[in-house]
Amino acid sequence: MKVLALLLVGCFAAGSILAGADMMIPDATFNFGKISQHRTLTHHFWIKSTGDDTLRILEIDPGCGCTEIPLKDSVLAPGDSTAMGVVFKTGRFRSHVIKKPTVLSNASPDKTVLQILSEVVLDPEADPTLVVRPDRVDVSQFGEKSRRRARFHLENRSDHDLNLQVADSSFKSFELEIPGKIKAGETVEGLVTVRKELVNTEFEESITLEVTGVDRNIYSIMVQRRLRPGR
């Protein structure tokens, strides 16, 4: 009986040592793909509390002034998740850009590193595969008349049909309508519609498209809304 008691005490002690906060970010890398200068890009990473104790986000370091990472929930119970929004401004960057924000929590003394990738192009009209016109869609409302929709165009400049897929669609203030395929040499129309419950909200967000044909390419489109009812 004494041996059994010692074994039970040992098991409970081991369990208490193993218990604690833990964190997981399932997709810690996101690629915005091709985009022009002076654009605002947005994406959400998911943080999951996977331990047996409360997860506390102690610090988020965006890494530079061009990146913002506001976080609504910094304390997560075991099993809970929260979305961490990232706002990246391309500014005067050129070519391939990599940003590495970090997240510090009580789960580990080591910081978790995120990766934000983009390719900032000076002349989007020179792209041999797909041209987005415009790559900044303005759905602003000037005046009292309600305006919720704006259109843009996608031109397939390649010799192959292109398949379109939205790479991120969560937490957007708008809905997006695009065809699933663009034939070689064809130009199609896309439609942005502001969500009804957000017609009185200003925002700068983006949508990212994954384009496949012969190769895989990624493109982002900025969507902005301003409200000036008195104009």
The predicted model gives 79-102 an average pLDDT of 94
Query: How many distinct structural domains can be found in the chain?
Result: 2
Express each pLDDT in 190-202 by its tens digit. 999 999 999 999 9
**In terms of residue numbers, what domain contains 61?**
23-120
Answer yes or no: is 9 within a domain: no
Cα–Cα distances in Å, from 225 out to 47, 203, 204? 28, 5, 7
Specify whether 132 is located in the same domain as 102. no
Answer yes or no: is 60 within a domain: yes
d(CA 102, CA 61): 5
18: pLDDT confidence band, cut at 50, 70 and 90? low
The predicted model gives 173-178 an average pLDDT of 96
Residues 218 and 34 sit within 8 Å (Cβ to Cβ): yes
d(CA 220, CA 36): 9
Answer yes or no: is 27 within a domain: yes
Q: Using the 3D structure, point to which of 120, 147, 167 is the last residue of a domain.
A: 120
Specify whether 135 is located in the same domain as 162. yes
Q: 228-231 long-range contacts, Cβ below 8 Å, gap at least 24?
A: 228/140, 228/141, 228/142, 228/143, 229/141, 229/143, 229/144, 231/142, 231/143
Structure tokens at 69: 């990472």
Specify whether 144 is located in the same domain as 69. no
Specify whether 52 is located in the same domain as 106. yes
Answer yes or no: is 220 within a domain: yes
Express each pLDDT in 186-230 by its tens digit. 999 999 999 999 999 999 999 999 999 989 999 999 999 999 866
Q: What is the pLDDT of residue 230?
A: 61
pTM: 0.87
Answer yes or no: is 13 within a domain: no
